[in-house]
Chains A and B, each alone.
Chain A
């Protein structure tokens, strides 16, 4: 299994500002995933972060809006830039446990943009 922590757990931010979300895993993993869950909706993948290379973004998500860092095999950050109320969501990071197939999720960061 994998234990994932995220910081902050929640935040209220003003329009036009940026927020960086941290994700820490208790084991070394190749890929880390960032998902968004808008209110009342299911999860949508934002990007996949590999250590030592550029993140791969899904259709509809761009690096300028959601820059990602992956400095090592246990840590990643997602920044939500120039925020608008439409960015109000829960942001979750996820990993596949080493040597396994099951995907595990962090507790999420609940972001409200006013």
Chain B
């Protein structure tokens, strides 16, 4: 059974700093991994999708990496802004299954 963990559970950093969010998963036979952002009381916004054959994906100030062998992914946010404050979730899809298994989330606060 796939289990996904995110550390830390909460993170506060001053505006302008670069930061890294971590995601680990127990079953390395993944099809893809997706990072989402969730604002309080809202739905999920897809940030980046990494296929199992890829090592990283970039979108603007965001960069996500994937290391299947170690069961880890990181989301790097450059030059953080107050608008980046949200909960960040990673989710894994295994082969043969369209279901996503979600991590526990990291609540990020950017301090102006």
Interface residues, chain A, CB within 8 Å of chain B? 31, 33, 42-45, 48, 58, 90, 92, 94, 96, 101-108, 110
Docked CA distance A102–B100 (Å): 11
User: Nearest Cβ distance between residue B81 and chain A, in whole angstroms?
Assistant: 23
Total interface residues on B, CB under 8 Å, equals: 22
User: Nearest Cβ distance between residue A56 and chain B, in whole angstroms?
Assistant: 9
Contacts of A104 in B (CB 8 A): 46
Residue from B45, B98, B102 within 8 A of A43 (CB atoms): B102
B46 to A, closest residue via Cβ:
A102
Q: Please tell me if the beta carbons of B46 and A103 are within 8 angstroms of each other in the complex.
A: yes
Which DSSP category, helix, strand, loop or mixed, fits chain A's interface? Answer: strand
Asked if B42 CB lies within 8 Å of chain A CBs, one says yes
Q: Please tell me if the beta carbons of A45 and B100 are within 8 angstroms of each other in the complex.
A: yes
User: Nearest Cβ distance between residue A95 and chain B, in whole angstroms?
Assistant: 10
Asked if B64 CB lies within 8 Å of chain A CBs, one says no
* Further 9 A-B residue pairs, CB within 8 A, beyond A42-B105, A103-B34, A106-B43: A42-B89, A42-B103, A42-B104, A44-B102, A45-B100, A103-B93, A105-B45, A105-B46, A108-B41
Residue from A31, A58, A110 within 8 A of B41 (CB atoms): A110
Q: Please tell me if the beta carbons of A42 and B102 are within 8 angstroms of each other in the complex.
A: yes
Docked CA distance A63–B93 (Å): 24
Asked if B32 CB lies within 8 Å of chain A CBs, one says yes
9 contacts between A and B (CB under 8 A): A33-B98, A42-B104, A43-B44, A45-B99, A101-B49, A102-B34, A104-B46, A105-B36, A107-B42
Asked if B70 CB lies within 8 Å of chain A CBs, one says no
Docked CA distance A76–B20 (Å): 37
Q: Please tell me if the beta carbons of A92 and B99 are within 8 angstroms of each other in the complex.
A: no
